């Protein structure tokens, strides 16, 4: 009994010493917000409340802050409303996501210069161009507690580029986003750094690889794959917070001598009307949304369309506008469905948010066959020709019942994201149109004003 008492006293003393050296750290994180601004007024009160409690509070973004909301994407300074709102809510740092490049390097550079927080990314080099000042990591200190954030972006496109329009990353050099963490292993030797966090835009599997290979990383805060989790994995922890600013995560940690000894992950649903709103930010959001040209009636849909049926609408509209034989559209390029009721420009920009151009090709049947075999992604198609796909993968094209020979020409159009990404399988475009694909969809609707669109049960090749 006496021995038990001594052990108990020793354990109590040890726990007291550990407790006295513990640091309580709170990290609020978001990812893949894609320009959604509606819930921003609920974020600042959450963070301010935690700061008033005296905790060390950080607020971070795991990328893709841009591209996906017409109010932001079509603002006079593309993307600025998001920067403004993140400044006002006190963001500490953001990694560069693949969709940060969607507006082009000059616009991204302008938005970075307006931010009160740094953008980081360790696995790309901006050379002497617009993005040459983006650093690989940033050390952020709050009340004597320092965190080193190391950034990385996915490189899943051809040529080891991020998944954005190839033209938008021209001149940039990207390296392996996992291997790059080898370059930062000695950062853990810096006695002034209390935690090392990988702030990534790689997706869940990439974040797992980081924790599998690098023991010096305490936590990975990730984005890109839109998961929701906060959990221990291998020798560290990993979190991700959904998409479209539907939620914000709050992670509370106890840290002792550079190690996380307690970890609590909470999901905060930002659609909850019971959350307090910052009225100044709420008024600013309404001001940004006040853009009458986005809400005028340009068409009417008589049914709710599925994504495939929306693909039918998209490809038919582009084919009629360009007067070509065949149009295709990539599945990933359609980001919303055509819904029943009045159609407005904001609806079209939500379906097609990327500002892609449009390329026209005069291509032989053999060249088109070759391209479609190489283009392994799912796509939608509209054609004035009859198309037959053989069991061996060969595609036959027929005009007025007659098979088109291999050397005969077919007019063919698609968005220039596809044509630039797969340029090695295509001839040079015959013509590049001056407007975006979304603008041509709007033109089609204006040409059919008064008609009720219905692509129900439309089948795609």
Indicate the fold that domain 293-453 takes in CATH: 5'-nucleotidase;  domain 2 (3.90.780)
Which of 351, 361, 380 minimizes the C-alpha distance to 442?
351
Place of tokens 């040209």: 293
How many other C-beta atoms lie within 10 A of the C-beta of residue 403?
Answer: 13
Strands 173-174 and 409-415: unpaired
Q: Are 129 and 105 in contact (CB under 8 A)?
A: yes
Distance of alpha carbon 452 from alpha carbon 15, whole angstroms: 71
Which of 134, 151, 147 minimizes the C-alpha distance to 190?
147
Residue 443 predicted with pLDDT over 80: yes
Place of tokens 């796909």: 389
- Residue 174: band (very low, low, confident or very high) from pLDDT cuts 50, 70, 90: very high
Q: Are 194 and 255 in contact (CB under 8 A)?
A: yes
Indicate the fold that domain 20-289 takes in CATH: Purple Acid Phosphatase; chain A, domain 2 (3.60.21)
Give the tens place of pLDDT for each residue, 191-234. Answer: 889 999 999 999 999 999 999 999 999 999 999 999 999 999 99
- Residue 21: band (very low, low, confident or very high) from pLDDT cuts 50, 70, 90: confident
For residue 284, give the H/E element and its range: helix 279-289
Note if the pTM is more than 0.85: yes
Per-domain residue ranges for the chain? 20-289, 293-453
Give the tens place of pLDDT for each residue, 328-361. Answer: 999 999 999 999 999 999 999 999 999 999 999 9
Strands 124-125 and 386-389: unpaired
Strands 299-301 and 452-453: parallel
Burial of 259 (0-12, 13-18, 19+ CB in 10 A): exposed
Q: What is the DSSP string of 372-406?
A: HHH--S-EEEEESSEEEE-TTS-EEEEETTEEPPT
């Amino acid at each position: 009994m006496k021995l038990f008492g001594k052990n108990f006293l020793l354990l109590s003393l040890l726990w007291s010493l550990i407790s006295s050296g513990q640091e309580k750290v709170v990290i609020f994180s978001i990812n893949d917000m894609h320009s959604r601004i509606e819930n921003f007024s609920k974020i600042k009160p959450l963070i301010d409340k935690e700061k008033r409690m005296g905790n060390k509070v950080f607020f971070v973004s795991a990328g893709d802050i841009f591209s996906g909301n017409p109010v932001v994407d079509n603002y006079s300074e593309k993307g600025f409303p998001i920067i403004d709102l993140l400044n006002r809510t006190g963001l500490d740092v953001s990694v560069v996501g693949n969709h940060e490049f969607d507006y082009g390097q000059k616009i991204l550079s302008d938005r970075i210069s307006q931010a009160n927080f740094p953008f980081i990314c360790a696995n790309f080099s901006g050379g002497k161009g617009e993005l040459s000042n983006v650093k690989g990591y940033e050390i952020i200190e709050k009340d004597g507690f320092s965190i080193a954030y190391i950034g990385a972006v996915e490189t899943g496109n051809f040529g080891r580029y991020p998944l954005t329009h190839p033209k938008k990353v021209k001149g940039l050099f990207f390296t392996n986003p996992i291997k790059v963490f080898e370059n930062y292993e000695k950062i853990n030797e810096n006695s002034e750094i209390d935690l090392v966090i990988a702030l990534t835009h790689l997706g869940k599997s990439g974040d797992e690889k980081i924790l599998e290979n690098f023991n010096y990383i305490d936590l990975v805060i990730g984005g890109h794959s839109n998961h929701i989790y906060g959990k221990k994995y291998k020798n560290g922890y990993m979190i991700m917070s959904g998409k479209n600013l539907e939620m914000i995560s709050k992670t509370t940690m106890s840290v002792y001598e550079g190690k996380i000894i307690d970890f609590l992950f909470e999901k905060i649903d930002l659609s909850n009307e019971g959350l307090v709103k910052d009225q100044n930010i709420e008024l600013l959001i309404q001001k940004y949304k006040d853009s009458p040209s986005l809400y005028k009636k340009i068409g009417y849909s008589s049914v709710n369309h599925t994504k495939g049926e929306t693909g039918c609408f998209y490809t038919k509209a582009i084919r009629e506008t360009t007067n070509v034989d065949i149009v295709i559209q990539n599945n990933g390029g359609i980001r919303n469905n055509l819904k029943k009721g009045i159609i407005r420009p904001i609806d079209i920009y939500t379906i097609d948010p990327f500002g892609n151009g449009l390329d026209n090709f005069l291509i032989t049947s053999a060249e088109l066959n070759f391209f479609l075999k190489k283009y392994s992604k799912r796509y939608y198609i509209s054609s004035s020709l009859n198309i037959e796909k053989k069991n061996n993968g060969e595609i036959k094209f027929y005009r007025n019942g007659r098979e088109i020979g291999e050397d005969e020409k077919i007019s063919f159009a698609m968005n220039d994201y596809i044509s630039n990404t797969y340029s090695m399988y295509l001839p040079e475009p015959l013509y590049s149109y001056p407007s975006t694909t979304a603008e041509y969809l709007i033109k089609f609707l204006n040409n059919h004003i008064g008609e009720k669109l219905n692509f129900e049960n439309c089948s795609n090749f």
